[in-house]
Amino acid sequence: MTARATDTEPRPFGDIALPYALVAPAVLVALAIAVVPLLYALWLSFQDWYLLRNPTPVWGGLINYEALFADAGLWRAFWRTWIWTIGTVAVEIALALPLALLLNRDTAIARMASALILLPWVMPFIVLGYGWRFLLDSEVGALHGFLQAFGLAGNSSILNDPNMALAIIIFISGWKGMPFMVLALLAALKSIPGELYEAAAIDGATPWQRFTTITLPAIQNTMLIIGLVLGILAFYSFDLPWIMTRGGPQEATTVLGISMYKAVFTDLRPAYAAAISVVMLAILAVASFLSLKLRRRQ
């Protein structure tokens, strides 16, 4: 909804300035927290600044970007981040689709459940991260005991196993993000006219046929757009892998967010970390552009 113009007569200056004055504090916060830091990161990424060697930044040209392309560990983190992102979104869809279909009924239980399902999304990472660590703990963890009974875990927690840690944290990441997808899919499902299903039932379509010819086409755009939004969030993950494993064991769960954090706080190379941020932002810009185009097409 857009506001109507109040009048067409010329207004006194006070009236013209008023809307700007009202919105100014919000714009200042946006500038201070987003725009200025982004420009500063760009400038920083061209500096030569390694706290152990030179305590003040000097112009370094492309030095950080050259180092970044030569950094084998960072390349591994880069590809791992794509696995992480695609894996997280895949888990989100795999969990959300059956849940949304199950919750798309008008009973009191279904309504209550579609509200409570939001809890993983709204709960702080720190609580969920420690909760899952507790479940997976090799000495006291209930889930660890369960996995052990099926021969899926040894005596040590699977979070210590480089081959398993990434998969399990991707699953947890997808579990946390899933409610947002459920919510979007429920909205899309509710907008499908019931007559379509009735007509299909008269034509003798099987449930599977109804799903593939009516339900899926009606929700696939939502799935794609929300998948992109969730993918962008996943690409920037830091909290969950940090709280669960600090990027380990070895570097099995080191995604780019963790590489960047370690570049500043462990290696004391803020300019290099800024260059990583810039590369991540460039990828984000492409993804946002894509999602915008998709929204327009819809």
Partner 1 sequence: MNEESRWRSLALDLLTLAVLALVLLPIIWVFIASIRPDADIMTRSLIPTRITFDHFANIFSRGDFLVALRNSLLVGGIVAVCTVLIAVPAAYSLSRFTYLGRDFIGFLILATQMLPAVAVLVPIVVIIRSLGMANTLTALTFTHLALGLPIAVWMLKGYIDAVPRELEEASIIDGSSQLGAMFRITLPLIRPAVVAVGTFAFVLSWGEFILALALITSAEVKTLPLALQTLFDPYSFSWGVVMAGGVVIAAPTILLFLLFRNQLVGGLTAGGIKG
Q: Report the site for partner 1 in 23-82 (rule: CB under 8 A).
A: 23, 25-27, 29-30, 32-38, 40-41, 44
Using the rule CB under 8 A, is 166 a contact of partner 1?
no
What are the structure tokens assigned to 80, written together?
């791992």
CA torsion angle 229 235 239 243 (round to 10): 130
What are the structure tokens assigned to 128, written together?
């969920």
User: Judged by CB under 8 A, which stretch of 59-67, 150-158, 199-207, 234-242 contacts partner 1?
Assistant: 234-242
User: Judged by CB under 8 A, which stretch of 71-79, 151-159, 206-214, 278-286 contacts partner 1?
Assistant: 278-286
Residue of 65, 76, 86, 121 that binds partner 1 (CB under 8 A) = 121
Closest CA to 291 of 235, 212, 239: 235
Give the burial string for 29-58 (b: 16+ CB within 10 Å, else e).
eeeeeeeeeeeebeebbbbbbbeeeeeebe
Residues near 137 by beta carbon (within 8 Å), at least 6 away in sequence:
144, 157
Using the rule CB under 8 A, is 125 a contact of partner 1?
yes
Using the rule CB under 8 A, is 116 a contact of partner 1?
yes
User: Judged by CB under 8 A, which stretch of 61-69, 116-124, 200-208, 210-218 contacts partner 1?
Assistant: 116-124
Closest distance of CB 250 from partner 1, Å: 18
- Amino acid in the structure at residue 42: L
Task: Closer to partner 1 by CB, 70 or 109: give it.
Answer: 109
